[in-house]
């Protein structure tokens, strides 16, 4: 028993020194969520990807306009130069400085609707990315809520363990007084000493669990080294969510209309269908209008640069090109098949999510109702355990009850306190789970 006490004291002192050596940062739940969103890799990656999707949507819209390019080249030819003068071809060995310039423009007239479908697909992809970003934010909120509440629960259980330890120490002092007065035997004193030693380790285990989960939360938030959060408690109590008054069928409809991941799947389905049409359009003839403007300057001509570039050598070409695909080694058919495969796979993912959403909602709904009943039951359990412990403690003081009855009453009280604390935090978290299943989980005051 002495070894256990010494070990517990040493470990408790070690953890106390470690905590004293750390810097703490006050943190509310909203602040924790905001930090997590800034540090979460998946969320930030999707946020960066969203910028690319936005540019791709703009690019798809601008492709309906003509493109315009200017090219210029400056070079020197050394050696034989060919000139046609009065019907004769004269060959000279000279150095020729040449400036070449051109302007090209091209605009699609008909491409089987490919650009129209591609523009619509880009809009769908960009909107799907927004929904994916919003759902990822909900996942981050859910994970932080789970860890945040677990730390608060660990802290509450640690306080219960310490309170029980202090009560049993006082009980030990009382029994020692009874032993000296001849009212109790030494066995009761030894049993109580053993119980105090056991509760020392129980309190130590509770503290270790609290600190472990606290460091896990700090790691999730990616706080600076040697920095631990000091969490602000949440308001607990019996909560009556407005969702519990609604029938399940209505909750299913709410979930299907609010779940960002389901909206994402719908948009991806529409986008992939458009991409199938894009690949099919490649099998149709392509009609494009074009305009080319070219000019050049040569040092073999004695006229000035501006006269050669703008008056003598300019050439303008305006026309329409027609490209008819006949045989392209099945390239187009393979592209259509690949796009159709992606579309069909997207349909499968959407149907799987359609089945999963009602299951998530029903499970969260039933667990929420069970949590309310559990909280009410543990409240009755706690009140009864408190009254029983008071009565048996008084009977033990009067010498009517034995030590076994007292120890059992104390243990039942601690169990009731722990069960009630867990029921309160579970009830609080269960509403978060239900909102997450419905796609309506958000934090007021957090920017994301």
Q: What is the pLDDT of residues 205-258, one digit of tens each?
A: 999 999 999 999 999 999 887 788 999 998 887 667 788 889 999 999 999 999
What is the distance between the alpha carbons of residues 376 and 102, in angstroms, rounded to a whole number? Answer: 83
pLDDT the model gives residue 254: 96
Q: Identify the CA nearest to 60 among candidates 137, 120, 108.
A: 120
Sequence ranges of the domains in the chain: 2-39+112-284+331-438
For the chain, the straight-line distance linking the first and the last C-alpha, in angstroms and rounded, comes to: 54
Residue 10 pLDDT > 60, yes or no?
Answer: no
**pLDDT the model gives residue 178:** 85
DSSP secondary-structure letter at 309? I
Q: Answer yes or no: are the C-beta atoms of 281 and 332 closer than 8 Å.
A: no
Q: Return the SS3 of 88.
A: strand
pLDDT at residue 426 in the model: 94
CA–CA gap between residue 339 and residue 50 (Å, rounded): 22
Q: Count of CB atoms within 10 A of residue 114's CB?
A: 19
Least confident of 140-154, 169-183, 276-290, 333-347: 169-183
Residue 442 — very low, low, confident or very high, per pLDDT cuts 50/70/90?
Answer: confident
Mean pLDDT of the chain: 89
**Cα-based distances in Å from 352 to 246, 348, 355:** 25, 6, 5
Buried b (16+ CB within 10 A) or exposed e, 1-34: eeeeeeebeebbeeeeeeeeeeeebebbbebbbb
Residue with tokens 């039942």: 412
Say which residue, 299 or 378, is predicted with more confidence: 378
Sequence length of the chain is 448
Give the closest residue to 131 by CA, choosing from 228, 37, 268, 252.
268
Non-local CB neighbours of 27 within 8 Å, separated by 6+ positions: 35, 229, 230, 231, 232
Please, are residues 272 and 339 in contact by the beta-carbon 8 Å criterion? yes
Token pair 């050439």 is found at 315
What confidence tier does 4 reach under pLDDT thresholds 50, 70, 90?
A: very low
* Span 30-78, pLDDT tens digits: 999 999 999 999 999 999 999 999 999 999 999 999 999 999 999 998 8
Confidence of residue 343 (pLDDT cuts 50, 70, 90): very high
What CATH code is assigned to 2-39+112-284+331-438? 1.20.1600.10
pLDDT digits (tens, 9 = 90+) for 94-103: 888 999 999 9
286/261 Cα distance (integer angstroms): 38
pLDDT above 70 coverage of the chain, percent? 91
Strands (E), 281-419: 286-298, 315-323
Mean pLDDT of 165-184: 89
pLDDT band at 20 (very low <50, low <70, confident <90, very high): very low
Residue 162 has pLDDT above 50, yes or no: yes
Alpha helix stretches (DSSP H) within 100-238? 114-180, 186-221
Model confidence pLDDT, tens digit, residues 374-427: 999 999 999 999 999 999 988 888 877 888 888 899 999 999 999 999 999 999
Specify the pLDDT at position 89: 64
């Amino acid at each position: 028993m002495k070894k256990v006490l010494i070990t517990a004291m040493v470990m408790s002192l070690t953890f106390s020194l470690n905590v004293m050596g750390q810097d703490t940062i006050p943190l509310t739940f909203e602040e924790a969520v905001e930090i997590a969103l800034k540090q979460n890799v998946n969320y930030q990656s999707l946020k960066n990807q969203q910028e690319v999707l936005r540019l791709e949507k703009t690019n798809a819209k601008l492709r309906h306009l003509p493109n315009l390019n200017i090219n210029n080249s400056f070079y020197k030819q050394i050696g034989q130069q060919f000139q046609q003068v009065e019907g004769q071809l004269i060959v000279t060995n000279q150095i020729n400085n040449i400036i070449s310039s051109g302007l090209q423009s091209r605009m699609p007239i008909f491409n089987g609707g490919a650009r129209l479908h591609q523009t619509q697909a880009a809009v769908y992809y960009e909107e799907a990315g927004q929904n994916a970003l919003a759902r990822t934010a909900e996942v981050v909120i859910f994970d932080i809520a789970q860890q945040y509440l677990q730390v608060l629960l660990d802290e509450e259980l640690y306080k219960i363990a310490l309170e029980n330890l202090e009560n049993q120490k006082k009980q030990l002092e009382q029994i020692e007084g009874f032993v000296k007065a001849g009212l109790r035997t030494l066995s009761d004193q030894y049993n109580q000493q053993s119980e105090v030693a056991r509760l020392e380790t129980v309190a130590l285990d509770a503290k270790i669990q609290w600190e472990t989960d606290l460091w896990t939360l700090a790691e999730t938030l990616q706080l600076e080294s040697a920095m631990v959060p000091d969490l602000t408690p949440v308001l607990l109590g019996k909560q009556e969510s407005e969702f519990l008054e609604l029938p399940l069928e209505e909750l299913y409809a709410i979930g299907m209309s609010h779940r960002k991941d389901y909206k994402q799947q719908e948009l991806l389905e529409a986008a992939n269908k458009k991409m199938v049409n894009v690949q099919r359009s490649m099998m149709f003839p392509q009609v494009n209008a074009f305009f080319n403007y070219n000019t050049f300057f040569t040092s073999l001509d004695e006229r000035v640069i501006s006269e050669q570039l703008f008056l003598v050598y300019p050439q303008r070409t305006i026309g329409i090109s027609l490209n008819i695909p006949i045989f392209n080694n099945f390239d187009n058919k393979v592209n259509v098949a690949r796009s159709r495969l992606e579309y069909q796979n997207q349909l499968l993912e959407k149907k799987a999510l359609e089945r999963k959403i009602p299951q998530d909602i029903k499970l969260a709904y039933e667990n929420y109702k069970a949590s309310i009943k559990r909280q009410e039951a543990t409240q009755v359990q706690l009140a009864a355990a408190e009254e029983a412990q008071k009565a048996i403690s008084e009977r033990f003081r009067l010498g009517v009850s034995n030590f076994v009855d007292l120890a059992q009453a104390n243990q039942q009280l601690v169990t009731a306190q722990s069960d009630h604390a867990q029921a309160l935090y579970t009830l609080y978290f269960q509403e978060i789970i239900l909102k997450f299943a419905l796609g309506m989980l958000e934090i007021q005051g957090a920017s994301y």
